[in-house]
Amino acid sequence: MINFEKELKNFKPSAEVEEAEAVIQNHDLSDVTDLIAEMLREAKGNR
Amino acid sequence: MICYRCGQEAGNEKRCPSCGENLAVLKKIRIISGAYYNQGLEQAKIRNLSDAVISLKNSLKFNKYNIDARNLLGLVYFEMGEVVDALGEWVISKSYQPSDNLASVYLDEVQKNRGRLDSENQTIKKYNQALHYCQQDSRDLAIIQLKKVLSMNPRMVKAHQLLALLYLQEDKLELAKRTLRNAAKIDSGHTITLRYMQEVNRRLKEKEKNSSKKSKDEDLISYQSGNETIIMPKRFKESSVGTTLLSIVIGLLIGTAVTSFLIVPTVRNRMKEETRQQMLEASDTISSNGQEMKELESQIETLKQQLTEEQENSVKVESQISSYDKLLSAYVSYVSEDFTAAGEALDKVKTKYLSKSAKSIYKELSDVVMEKYFTQLYREGYSAYQKGRYAEAIEAFKQITDEKEDFHDGYAAYYLAQSYRRSNDLQSAKPYYQYVIDNYPDTERARTAQNYVNAQEQ
């Protein structure tokens, strides 16, 4: 059974073209390679 | 391939040529990213866009430099009506690979067609407004707004889904089903679409079951005969002529009653409902027109400001050109030793419009020329004074004293005062006499000036 109020919360406002710059700036651009590099740095630091 | 240790380009080597790091793990990661990209591409081909988005995002999590995956993700977003997300992916893609990149083509296409981008933006705004109406429980307005959104952009999956949810809430199951089918035509595998479709089908089945059971009960009569239960259709019930006539009369009476008590009010209600819907649409149109008017007014205001700025700039440029023109003609006159013309030209130069170097040229020229110009002017003024042409003399001496009051040891000021006095304008003469008294005391001129001032005061 679908609950209207609960379902409505799943719908979020779409970003408008004026907000495109903010959307791009807040984009998470890290990938697995970045994680590996971070881990290597941390490991080096611990030594 | 970029080495994760030193950040240098490593090509397809097993070890980084710069730092020597073993790149076997990195290669495997690239392979996984490629596999996710292939999966996303296959899903996009069969229009399972939401799953394609997940696969392509996964591909980018493994390799953010996978340009094909990023471009395809933007394309999928664009197809789903998520213009801003699409633009974001393409811009990032272009920043990673500025040349030989499909994202540049997509971005160029969008930039060339500004009208379409504006229309997409309006659609997004209307969708957000519809969502706002839903949150305020104004479902009628939300439905109207979403219909507009979908007429402008039928690819917006979210709008189809929200409209279907509203129809479900209003128990308009057939409309909800149609809307969900349209959503599935764009994105066949979206979980929300599938879940709502399941709900619509469940409710439709439930309704069908209830109505068939009801009609079954109404069509049959059953009675007990001995040990057996007899079930038979009503229409086979035998009836006499009198009963038939009575049934017809009763039927007519019921028909009239139904018409007057049920059908007429229903028709009236429907008309009222239609009027209400039209009113709502009209009010919505008025509010959107008002919004557009406001936007246009602000555009007009901005354009007016731009026009004023442009006009100011044009005046500034004209003054600049004229100042340089005058400076040049002053120099030409100076070279040909026409100091009067040079001085007049320099007088018209507005130094605030000159560059730093032009200002220094102006100053040098001005120092030389003005001295000679004033000397010439002084001669002319003095000659006019001696010949009794006091108006001419006043003009010449005034021009000198306005720029350099102490010219020729204050004689310019003194003769200006004298010229005024001889023109019977003692009021104008007084400040210049006073200047001579204050600055050149103990001179014959000062004493004469003092006498005239005293005479005036008496």
Tell me the DSSP string of B27-76.
Answer: HHHHHHHHHHHHHHHHHHHTT-HHHHHHHHHHHHHH-TT-HHHHHHHHHH
- Three-state SS string over B117-175 comes to HHHHHHHHHHHHHHHHHHHCCCHHHHHHHHHHHHHHCCCCHHHHHHHHHHHHHCCCHHH
- Composition of chain A by helix, strand, coil, percent to 5: 60, 0, 40
pLDDT for the residue B220: 61
Inspect the interface and report whether the beta carbons of A23 and B84 lie closer than 8 Å.
yes
Interface test with B, best of A2, A23, A39, A40 (most B CBs within 10 A): A2
pLDDT for residue B160: 94
Question: What residues of B are in contact with residue A32 (Cβ under 8 Å)?
Answer: 29, 61-63
- Residue that the structure tokens 């340009």 belong to: B67
Res B237: pLDDT: 54
Q: Report ipTM (2 d.p.).
A: 0.88
Three-state secondary structure along B172-231? CHHHHHHHHHHHHHHCCCCHHHHHHHHHHHHHHHHHHHHHHHHHHHHHEEEEEECCEEEE
Question: Tokens 């007016």 label which residue?
Answer: B304
Give the separation between CA B12 and CA B122, rounded to whole angstroms: 46
- Rounded to two decimals, what is the model's pTM? 0.52
Predicted local distance difference test score (pLDDT) of residue B240:
74
pLDDT of residue B36: 95
Asked if B169 has any chain A CB less than 8 Å from its own CB, the reply is yes
Residue B239's pLDDT is 61
| Contact residues, chain A, for B82 at CB < 8 Å | 14
Alpha helices in B226-355 (DSSP H): 241-258, 264-335, 339-347
Query: Which residue of B117, B158, B192 is in closest CB contact with A17?
Result: B117
Predicted confidence (pLDDT) per residue in B160-213, tens digit? 999 999 999 998 999 999 999 999 999 988 999 999 999 999 999 988 888 877
Residue at token pair 């110009």? B373
Q: How many residues does chain A have?
A: 47
Interval A1-47: pLDDT, tens: 788 889 999 899 988 888 888 888 888 888 888 888 888 888 888 77
Q: Which of B88, B125, B135 sits opposite A16 (nearest CB)?
A: B125
B165 and A2 within 8 Å at the Cβ level: the answer is: yes
Residue with tokens 């020229």: B365
- The residues of chain B scoring below 70 in pLDDT are 214-227, 229-239
